[in-house]
Structure 1
Amino acid sequence: MEERSMRKPVRDGLLPRMEARPTKKGFTYRYHPVGGKPINLGADRIEAIRKVLEITGGGDDIGTISRLWDQFRETPGWKRYSQYTRTDYEQCATKLLDIFGDVRAADIDATDVARYLRKERADAPVRANREMALLSNLIGLAIERGEAKHNPCREVKRNEEQPRTEAPEPEEFAAFATWLAEQRGQRAMIGMAAEYAAVAGNRKVEFLDLSWLQVDEAAGHIRIKRAKQRGKKRGEVIEQIEITPQVSALLARLKVARAAQKNEECLYVFPNRSGTAYTQAGFKTMWQKLMVEAIKKKVIRHRFTFHDLRAYYVTQHKAERGALPDLHANPATTARVYDRSKVVKRKAL
């Protein structure tokens, strides 16, 4: 009985009319054409599948990065990602597919990964790391599907990332915000969104779709879901931001802008021209355009990212209140990533 069961063909993961026959060293594969004798395919599973595809004339894109990208977006894991992560991966895929789109995952080796990181994307080393993280996920999916044997992305060291150490100076940020406020319209709206990030410390992904229903001026706070939470905490950590006099004044200006647009029914605190919430991509494009113009017109001397405003908030919070704000489950992360104080005050004996 045992000998008979050992000889039973294995079909899991194989193409139609293929079989895997157990041997002492593993398996050997065969293909059964209609009305013909079985064709030996050898002991390499991936090569066996390719041979069958060549015989049948189909599936030329099996195991390619472009097809794996399509399949990746249909997995349960993709559905668990936040919208911010999905958008980021979609941006990563644009350049990645230009280089590897038609290449099979099984044909990519460590030298290809290293060349992509060091040469193909030498002008954007940090972004290249994100793109390699996506490629690693796609090859991992290929391994699960039997379309690749190993993941070369795990064999190559990523580009070194230097954390940002600067935060906007208060005077420079004030000049930038005032410049935008004077222009009104959507430019002023972008400026007020920047002011909010600077005084509240929220990420764009947390407040771009902030609604007036989340603003409770009577209770004196704004309630927002904290992003980047994992596991059981995903979507369950609520940040309750105090409405200080500075935040209150900002809300008053936002209400004036809302009335000026003659759209009292608009739910969003920072709406775009159409009265809906800004997308990540739309806001980013607008921000970069304004930053380039501000530098050109010498409104500010140094360029800064929108995410730097989170560091600005942390640094100013520490200077004014003597402690770091609660931004992460691990306070050390806040101190390491966002505290960019240049002057450290301490008492003498």
Structure 2
Amino acid sequence: MYFDHGAYYFVPKEGKKTHLGRNYGEAITKYVALVQPVIGRQRLSAVMDDYVKEKIPTKKPRTRDDYLDAIRRLRPIFGEMWPEDVEPKHIYQYLRLRGAPVRANREIAVLSNVMQQAIEMGLVNINPCRQVRRNRESPRVREVLDPEVVAFILHCPEWLKAYIELKMLTGLRQGDMLRLGLFNIRDDGLFVETGKRGKRLLFQWTPALRCAVDTCRGLRRKPSESRLFPITASGLKSAWARAMNKYEGDGFAENDLRAKVASEAIDLGLDATSMLGHSSDAVTRRHYIRGTRKVSPLK
């Protein structure tokens, strides 16, 4: 509040100044009425900062990286908005214009977490993200055939060949594969506690699994190295891309091999849901069963 030419004025950082009158007491009353609603307000960028500081460290490493990337994309769009000004229409616009429907869904899920953070901070009472229907997602249908895997492996370095062979036997997620170490190898099998759901899996020894694990152990660069695949997720991604560039067939993703394992497990009469560490058959069948089902015609 400023006194100028015999009158009091409220001069905000943004917007026009407001005449409060010549009487000091009346000016103070008007000033409090104008300022009180904005005391304690924080822009969404500040809420994002608090979320990164308080909540992100509790996430798994892969999830942490994904959330930080989402916030990096959300900040230029929503960062300067007041939390109470974010409406469903803004979120729908983001979903339409993002250009990557699935990624947009993931990013709005993170924005929903940030809005929940704003609720916990007492800045808003409603999370507008919960009123929004996300982009429709179609399950991936790419079915990788055995000849394709054989042809692709020819272009892979030895460690990536061993990685693929072990993944084809276990169907483990990429994060769980990269965390495998000597401590997972037990007398009764290959023990894994999955990172996403915390499922405890014991892959009992078979000649093929024993051979694959021994191969991975033999390829370690340093005998003191405890991990079977001492490489980061980004390093694996780069190696996969280099090999795929040399491969002349239709491309497929690393995660498509997990779906291939699930489909083959079903064909063999095995429990694919337990093998993949899922909580329900519905998740397995919707996202991972892609193989062609073999059926008998009517007689």
- Common topology (TM > 0.5): yes
Identical aligned residues as a percent: 27
Separation in 2, partners of 1:65, 1:285: 35
Q: Name the residue aligned to 2:10.
A: none
Provide the residue aligned with 2:43 in structure 1. Answer: 64
How many corresponding residue pairs?
270
Q: 2:71 maps to which residue?
A: 93
The match for 1:251 among 213, 217, 220 is: 213
**For residue 284 of structure 1, what is the aligned residue in structure 2?**
237
Task: Find runs of 4+ consecutive structure 1 residues off by over 6 angstroms.
Answer: none
3-state SS, counterpart of residue 154 of structure 2:
helix
**Distance in 2 of aligned mates of 1:285 and 1:148:** 43
1:157 counterpart residue number: 133
- One-letter code of the match for 2:36? A
Between the aligned partners of 1:285 and 1:63, the Cα distance in structure 2 is 40
Q: Do residues 226 (structure 1) and 176 (structure 2) align?
A: no
Q: Secondary structure at the match of 1:222?
A: strand
Structure 1 residues not aligned, in runs of 5+? 1-35, 54-61, 230-234, 273-277
Q: 1:238 to 1:135 in 2, by over 3 A?
A: same
Contact 2:139 2:286 in 1 (8 A): no
* 1:311 Cα deviation after fit: 0.6
> Contact between 1:143 and 1:150, CA under 8 Å: does it hold in 2?
yes
- The answer to whether residue 52 in structure 2 is matched with residue 84 in structure 1 is no
Matched, 1:134 2:104: no
The 2-side partners of 1:226 and 1:196 are apart by 16
Structure-2 separation of matches of 1:227 and 1:95: 26
Give deviations 1:208-263, integer Å, cap 9, x for gaps. 121112113x43x100102332xxxxx3x3100123222223223223322xx3x1
Deviation at 1:113, TM superposition (A): 1.0
Superposed displacement of residue 41, structure 1? 4.2
Which residue identity is paired with 2:50? Q
Cross-structure match for 2:200 = 238
The CA deviation at 1:177 is: 1.6
Separation in 1 of the partners of 2:77 and 2:211?
A: 50
Q: State whether structure 2 residue 294 is matched by structure 1 residue 344.
A: yes
1:335 corresponds to 2:297: no
Cross-structure match for 1:314: 262
Letter in 1 for 2:45: S
Per-residue CA deviation, residues 181-210 of structure 1 (Å, 9 max, x unaligned), is xxx4xxx32332233222211111212121
Change (3 A) 1:98 1:286: farther
Sort the Cα spacing of 1:241 and 1:117 in 2 relative to 1 into closer, same or farther, 3 A.
same
Matched, 1:190 2:168: no
Cα 1:79/1:95, change in 2 over 3 Å = closer
- Gap regions ≥5 residues in structure 2: 1-26
Q: Separation in 2 of the partners of 1:323 and 1:335?
A: 13
Take 1:244 and 1:66, find their aligned partners in 2: how far apart are those partners? 53
Relative to structure 1, the CA distance from residue 269 to residue 109 in structure 2 (aligned partners, 3 Å threshold; closer, same or farther) is same
Q: Give 1:66's aligned amino acid.
A: S
Choose which of 234, 254, 267 in structure 1 pairs with 2:226.
267
Using a 3 Å threshold, how does the CA distance of structure 1 residues 289 and 69 change in structure 2: closer, same or farther? farther
Distance, in Å, in 1 between the alignment partners of 2:155 and 2:239 is 15
Note the C-alpha offset of 1:39: 5.5
User: Which structure is higher in RCO with an 8 Å CA cutoff and minimum separation 6?
Assistant: 2
Q: What displacement does 1:179 show?
A: 2.0
Separation in 2 of the partners of 1:49 and 1:74? 26
Q: Is the 8 A contact 2:83 2:123 kept in 1?
A: yes
Query: What is the rounded CA distance, in whole Å, between the counterparts of 2:103 and 2:47 in structure 1?
Result: 21
1:269-290 deviation digits (Å, cap 9, x = unpaired): 0113xxxxx2x34433443443
Question: How far did residue 340 of structure 1 move?
Answer: 1.2
What's the counterpart of residue 102 of structure 1?
80
Q: Is the 8 A contact 1:197 1:309 kept in 2?
A: yes
Counterpart contact for 2:56–2:67, Cα < 8 Å: no
In the other structure, the counterpart of 2:250 is: 302
Q: TM-score scaled to structure 1, two decimals?
A: 0.69
The CA distance in 1 between the partners of 2:228 and 2:287, in whole Å, is 28
